[in-house]
Chains A and B, each alone.
Chain A
Amino acid sequence: MTTKEEHQDKVLKEVTEQEYKYGFQTNIEMDMFPKGLNEEIVRKISEIRNEPDWVLEFRLKAFHAWQKMEKPQWAHLQIPEIDFQDLIYYAKPKPKKKLNSLDDVDPEILEVYEKLGIPLEEQKALAGVAVDAVFDSVSVKTTFQKELKERGIIFCPISEAVRDYPGLVKEYLGSVVPYSDNYYAALNSAVFTDGSFVYIPKGVKSPMELSSYFRINSAGTGQFERTLIIVEEGGYVSYLEGCTAPQRDENQLHAAVVELIAKKDAEIKYSTVQNWYPGDKEGKGGIFNFVTKRGICKGNHSKISWTQVETGSAITWKYPSTILKGDNAIAEFYSVAVTNNYQQADTGTKMIHIGKNTKSTIISKGISAGYSQNSYRGLVDIKRSAVNSRNYSVCDSLLMGNKCGAHTFPYIDIENHTSVVEHEATTSNISEEQLFYLQQRGLDEESAINMIVNGYAKEVLNQLPMEFAVEAQKLLEISLEGSVG
C-alpha cells in the first residue's frame, strides 16, 4: 500500500467514525395505528382527520391504484426490500393541552428544535420567516398567520386547508402529480398525513419567506407529507423546506409529494435543505427518501425555481421537475447533492417544454465521498409546440477518495428544430494541488476542503435565501468532515 492509499484509508476511517450530529430521540407520547396498510387503515386515517368524502375517495382511488403498481427499478440505486405491511402509517404527537401560544407548545418538542439550533422563538425573530413546524404528522404550531392573512395569503397545514378551503384543495390536489403518477406518489396519495398548503392571491407578493421544518420522530412510522402551493396571476412566493431526523436503527420510508402551480406572471421559488438521517458508518439505518416534486408553469411568463441541498438520507430518489406549459415560462433547477459513507442518491430533474419560447436551466453539483454512489438523472423534453425554447444544463461531479462513484444520466428529447439545448458535464477530484495551495497559506486540511467544496457549490448556494445558505454551508461541512481526495 502506498502512503497515499494509507492516508485515504485513514481519512475514510475518520469519516466513517463520524456520527450523525442530529441523532437524538424525544419521548413524546404517540397516537399510533397498528402496522400495515389496507383499505381499513386508509379509511381510518381519513376518519381520524374528519375529512370530507371527496378526500377519502381520492385516497381510496390512490390506494387501489397503488396495489396494482410496481416499484420503479430504473434508478441507479440498490434498494433493500421494503415491507410495506411492516410500517405504521399514522402517528400523531399527543398535545398535552390545546395550543394557544408558543408557551403552550410541548416543551419537549421545543427542545427538539433547540437541539437542531432552530428554536421557534429564534425562528420567529429571524428576518421575517414564518414557520409551519411539522412534528411527525401533525402540525404543531403555525406562526405569522395574522400578517399573512392581511394580504390574503393562506399558509397552513394541508389538513386545515381541506377543512377551510375545500374548493381550492379539490381543484388542485393531484392536478400536477396525479395519484397514479408513480408507485410512491400513489402511496402518498393514499396515506398522506400532513404537509403545507400555500395560496397566494392575484398580484400578491409574499412579504416573507414561508418555511416549514419537517422531522420524523417515531420509530417505524413513515412520513408522507403532501405540499400544495398555488400562486395566482402576478403573485410571488419563496418557500423553504428543511429537515433533520433523529438517529435510529430501522430504515424509514419517506414518500412526499409536492405540487406547485404558477399562473400567468407568477413566480415560485422552492428551496430545500435536506438532512434526513443518512444511516450509520456501515450503511445501516437511515431514511429512504422517495419524493415526487413537480411544478407547472401554467400561465404565460410564469417562473418556477427549485433549489435543493441534499446531504441526508440513506437513499434519495428525487427529481423536482417543471412542466413549462405557458409561453415564455422559465424554470430553473439548482442542486447540490452530497453523499458520504454508504449513501446512495439518484436525483435530478425533468424539464418538460410545451409553451413557446420557454427557457430552462439546470445546474447540478454532485459531491461523493466515502463508499457512496451519486447519480444525476435529468430529462429535457421539448415538445413540438415548444418553438424557440432553450435549455442549458451543467452537471458537475466532484469525487473525494477513490471508493465512491459519480454518474450522469442525461436524457434529451427534442421534437422541433427551433430549440436549442446545451449540456455540459464534468467530473473531477478535489485536487491535491488545490489542497496544498490552501494549506501552504496556513489553512488546515479540514478548512481547506470546506473552502473548496463551498466554492464548488457556490453557484447553487447563492440561490438560497440568506439564513438558509448559512445553514446549508454548515451542513456541507458536517457531511464531509474528514473526507479527503
Chain B
Amino acid sequence: MKMNPILEIKNLHAKIGDKEIIKGLNLTVYPGEVHAIMGPNGTGKSTLAYIIAGKDGYEVTQGDILFNGKSILDMSPEERALEGIFLGFQYPVEIPGVSMTNFMKAAIDAQRKYQGLDPVKPGEFLKMYREKQALVNMPDKIKNRSVNEGFSGGEKKRNEIFQMAMLNPKLAILDETDSGLDIDALRSVAEGVNKLRNKDNAFIIITHYQRLLDYIVPDIVHIMYDGKIVKTGDKELAKELEAKGYDTLVKS
C-alpha cells in the first residue's frame, strides 16, 4: 500500500510584484524521505521555501500546495508551523532582548496549545532543552543569550537545527543550512539531522553544493532552474552535478 504524501506541490506558479519566480513547479514528498533541491543562485529555491512556510509578499497565481492532503495556501505562517512545517532559515534574524529559553518555551507552548495540551512544565522543558542541545552540540551558555544575537555564523545554523529538534516537525525545509559553515559545524548540523530522521518525517534540503549531501544522504535529488524542477534523480545526480556543473546538466 502506497503511503499518502506529506507534501504535494502541484503546478505552482508564484510571483513577487510583477515578477514570476516559480513557474510551474511540481514536487511530492513522502514520509521518511530526504529530498535535496539544488540549483544555481536566483532560480527560486529560497522563494519556494518561503512560499511553503507562508511568508508575506509572494503571490501564488496558479497551482496548490497540499500538506498531509490539505491545501495550506490560506493558512497563516503560524498555522503552517503548528501543523508541522519547519523552516531552517538561511539568514536567521536576531531578536534583541528575547532569551533563547523564553523564545523556545513560547514556541513549545504554542504548539502544545494547538494540540490541546497544557503548557510544558519548567523542569520538563529544561530537561528537553538540554537533551536537544546535546544533540546538536550547542554550547549551554547560548540559552541565556538573546535569540541569534552575537551568535557566530555556525552557532546561528546550529541553532536552527536545535529549534528543529525541539519542535520535532513533520516536514523540515533547510534553506542553505550549509552555507558559511566550516567542516566541523557542517558535520554537527548533519549529525543533528540524521538523528532526527525517521519514517514519519521528511526533509527538504536546499543547497548549492554536494558537500552537505556527503553527510546527509538524500533519497531524491532535484535540480531546480528558472523556477522549475528540471531534473530529478537519486544521490548520484548530485555528484554528476558537482562534476559537470549546472550549465551542462541543465541544458543537456
Contact = CB atoms under 8 A, between A and B. Distances in A.
Contacts of A458: 97-98
**Chain A interface, >50% SS class:** helix
A431 B81 CA distance: 19
A33 B39 CA distance: 80
A451 B103 contact: yes
A117 interface: no
Contacts of B92: 437
Interface string A443-461: 1110100011011111100
Contacts of B95: 434, 437-438, 451-452, 455
A449 to B, nearest CB: 12
B77 interface: yes
Contact of B110 (A3, A432, A444): A444
Contacts of B140: none
Contacts of A455: 95-98, 146
Contacts of B110: 441-444, 447
Contacts of A3: 56
A442 B56 contact: no
B61 to A, nearest CB: 14
B243 interface: no
Identify the interface centre among A433, A439, A440, A444: most chain B CB within 10 Å of its CB.
A440
A454 B76 contact: no
B139 to A, nearest CB: 21
B107 interface: yes
B98 A442 contact: no
Contact of A443 (B57, B96, B106): B106
Given A436-B56, A440-B81, A442-B82, A457 B97 contact: yes
A68 interface: no
Contacts of B163: 441
B101 to A, nearest CB: 13
Contacts of A443: 78, 106-107, 110
B89 interface: yes
Given A433-B93, A457-B97, A441 B81 contact: yes
Identify the interface centre among A437, A445, A458: most chain B CB within 10 Å of its CB.
A437
A270 B54 CA distance: 46
B111 interface: yes
A4 interface: yes
A454 B97 contact: yes
Given A436-B55, A436-B77, A447-B110, A441 B97 contact: no
Nearest to B94: A434
Given A436-B77, A440-B81, 9 more contacts: A3-B56, A4-B57, A434-B95, A437-B89, A437-B95, A439-B78, A441-B103, A451-B95, A454-B98
21 contacts: A4-B56, A7-B56, A431-B93, A434-B95, A437-B89, A438-B103, A439-B54, A440-B86, A441-B163, A442-B110, A442-B111, A443-B106, A447-B110, A451-B103, A451-B106, A452-B95, A452-B98, A454-B97, A454-B98, A455-B97, A458-B97
Interface of B: 53-57, 76-78, 81-82, 86-87, 89, 92-93, 95-98, 102-103, 106-107, 110-111, 114, 146, 163, 167
